[in-house]
Amino acid sequence: MRRRDFVGLVGGAAAWPLAAGAQQRERVRRIGVLSTLGKNDPVVQTRIAALARGLRDLGWMEGRNFRIEHRFLAGRFDLIPSSVADVVASKPDVVHAGNTLIAQEFRRQTRTIPIVFVNVGDPVETGMVATLARPGVNATGFMNSESEIGGKWLELLKEIAPTVSRVLVLVNSGIDTNQNFLRRIEAAAPSLSIQVSSAAIRDGGEIERAIEAFAREPNAGLIALSGGPVSNRRRLIFALAGRYRLPAVFQFREYVTEGGLMSYSADVLDMYRRSASYVDRILKGEKPDDLPVQAPTKYELVVNINAAKAIGLTIPASFLLRVDEVFE
């Protein structure tokens, strides 16, 4: 064998384990995601895209060293426990929970897999973490707002539609944070001369019956709290609000872009982007208990002018001056 061939062979042999080691370091990290929405729902698609974009901005390469594994329930809340069990059994490196119900179920089923949650109500009030500064468990993340915002929704509804004296609150059955919001709404009602009623809803039929019955009397308004039944039937709620000429407040900006009248909330897409930093840090070895729960940094007041026109509502000019975004 010629010397140059021998050197080349030895060099290649030495390089091979290095290349193999490099490939091993590029192990694909798996992020489990479970959503109560449907696979083709634009809300969940834009949110997961924001998470993926945040990871790419931190240097992760989708398909090369990370993969998001989605599961979609399309409104089947009865499947949450079994679907969470499936995710846990697959042993992802981290799970990403997009609402309170799913985050709570992950906490019930695993004490070892790190959980990053977003878009949840106060996690201390609901018992998911010990404190915001030191979660004390295998979960941390980004809360959407404190429950006091419930009173703010009622104030905004009264301001945009001063004749409203009765408000129906759609409460998603089984969601603890909805009850916390409802208590704050009820506490704010007397000072605004508003009578508050609530309806616990689980499906489209219950939503339709509740709104139809409430709308029989005049001066009515609506607050639709976030959660699966409202999220999955939001277009039905838009249609009913238009039919009965009900000014309505929703929690998320996306609902206003699709036809709702008004929303006031934290910027959820910003939360999803920011949550990528916690996924990144956990994948690099940090523990959820060392990462404090983050409160919102951005709130948005958004109004849909066409939805206002459809119910014969003229929005005061002074109100529009304070709006962050207007859709027409």
CATH number of the domain encompassing residue 251: 3.40.50.2300
Number of structural domains, the chain? 2
182 and 306 co-located in one domain: yes
Find the DSSP H helices in 215-296.
228-232, 234-243, 253-257, 268-283
Q: If pLDDT is split at 50, 70 and 90, which confidence band does 125 have?
A: confident
189 and 53 co-located in one domain: no
Dihedral (C-alpha) 283, 287, 291, 294: value to the nearest 10 degrees?
Answer: 60
Q: Is residue 11 part of a domain?
A: no
Indicate the range of 7-11, 56-60, 147-151 predicted with least confidence: 7-11
304 and 201 co-located in one domain: yes
141 and 194 co-located in one domain: no
pLDDT tens figures, 257-277: 999 999 998 888 899 999 999
232 and 245 co-located in one domain: yes
129 and 277 co-located in one domain: yes
205 and 316 co-located in one domain: yes
Q: Is residue 249 part of a domain?
A: yes
Range of the domain at 232: 149-266+300-327
Find the DSSP H helices in 34-175.
42-57, 80-89, 100-109, 149-160
126 and 154 co-located in one domain: no
Burial 248-271 (b: 16+ CB within 10 A, else e): bbbbbbbbbebbbbbbbbbbbbbb
Q: Is residue 187 part of a domain?
A: yes
What pLDDT, on the 0 to 100 scale, is given for residue 77?
82
Q: What is the mean pLDDT of residues 75-102?
A: 93
State the Cα–Cα distance between residues 180 and 11, nearest whole angstrom. 67
State the Cα–Cα distance between residues 186 and 153, nearest whole angstrom. 11
214 and 313 co-located in one domain: yes
pLDDT at 101 over 90: no
pLDDT tens figures, 271-328: 999 999 999 999 999 999 999 999 887 789 999 999 999 999 999 899 999 999 998 8
Q: Is residue 5 part of a domain?
A: no
Q: Is residue 1 part of a domain?
A: no
61 and 95 co-located in one domain: yes
Q: Is residue 323 part of a domain?
A: yes
Asked if residue 185 lies in contact with residue 151, where contact means CB atoms within 8 angstroms, the answer is: yes
pLDDT tens figures, 226-245: 877 788 888 999 999 999 99
198 and 279 co-located in one domain: no
Q: Is residue 120 part of a domain?
A: yes
138 and 165 co-located in one domain: no
Asked if residue 281 lies in contact with residue 302, where contact means CB atoms within 8 angstroms, the answer is: no
Q: Is residue 17 part of a domain?
A: no
